[in-house]
């Protein structure tokens, strides 16, 4: 049985992150009025966040598909995920979520937690690949 690539975990997590970005981005862009009704989230916020996810997903796929994963780019993606997670945890204290329902706040915080988990897994994958 051939040995696993040292960067296999990193590549898998990057691709899974990309899939989640496309799925979430599509939901945020396609249904801002519905999300406003259920979650009390501004359509400007949800649409903008959704649109931002598509180029990020493309960069995740590009990075995962390189013959050698560019470490600087991968660490940049980890930093982007950390920033998104921190913003998601801070957002409930801002006027952007003034009209949010309790479910809306929970939604924002929960997706921030998922993004933080991706950042952590990507960091672990980067460290394993370097070892």
Q: State if pTM tops 0.95.
A: no
Rounded-to-integer distance, Cα 100 and Cα 123, Å: 32
Rounded-to-integer distance, Cα 18 and Cα 26, Å: 12
pLDDT of residue 130: 82
CA dist 99 to 14, 45, 81, Å? 33, 12, 25
> Does 76 score more than 90 pLDDT?
yes
CB 20, CB 113: distance < 8 Å: no
> Does 1 score more than 70 pLDDT?
no
> Does 6 score more than 90 pLDDT?
no
What are the tens digits of pLDDT across the range 85-126? 999 999 999 998 988 999 999 999 999 999 999 999 999 999
Rounded-to-integer distance, Cα 60 and Cα 74, Å: 8
């Amino acid at each position: 049985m051939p040995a696993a690539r040292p960067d296999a975990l990193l590549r898998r997590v990057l691709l899974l992150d990309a899939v989640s970005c496309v799925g979430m981005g599509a939901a945020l862009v396609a249904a801002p009025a519905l999300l406003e009704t259920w979650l009390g989230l501004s359509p400007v916020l949800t649409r903008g966040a959704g649109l931002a996810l598509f180029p990020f997903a493309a960069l995740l796929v590009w990075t995962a598909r390189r013959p050698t994963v560019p470490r600087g780019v991968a660490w940049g993606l980890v930093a982007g995920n950390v920033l998104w997670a921190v913003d998601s945890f801070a957002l409930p204290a801002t006027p952007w979520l003034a009209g949010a329902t309790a479910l809306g706040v929970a939604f924002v915080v929960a997706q921030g937690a998922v993004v933080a988990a991706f950042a952590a897994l990507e960091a672990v994958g980067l460290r394993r690949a370097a070892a």
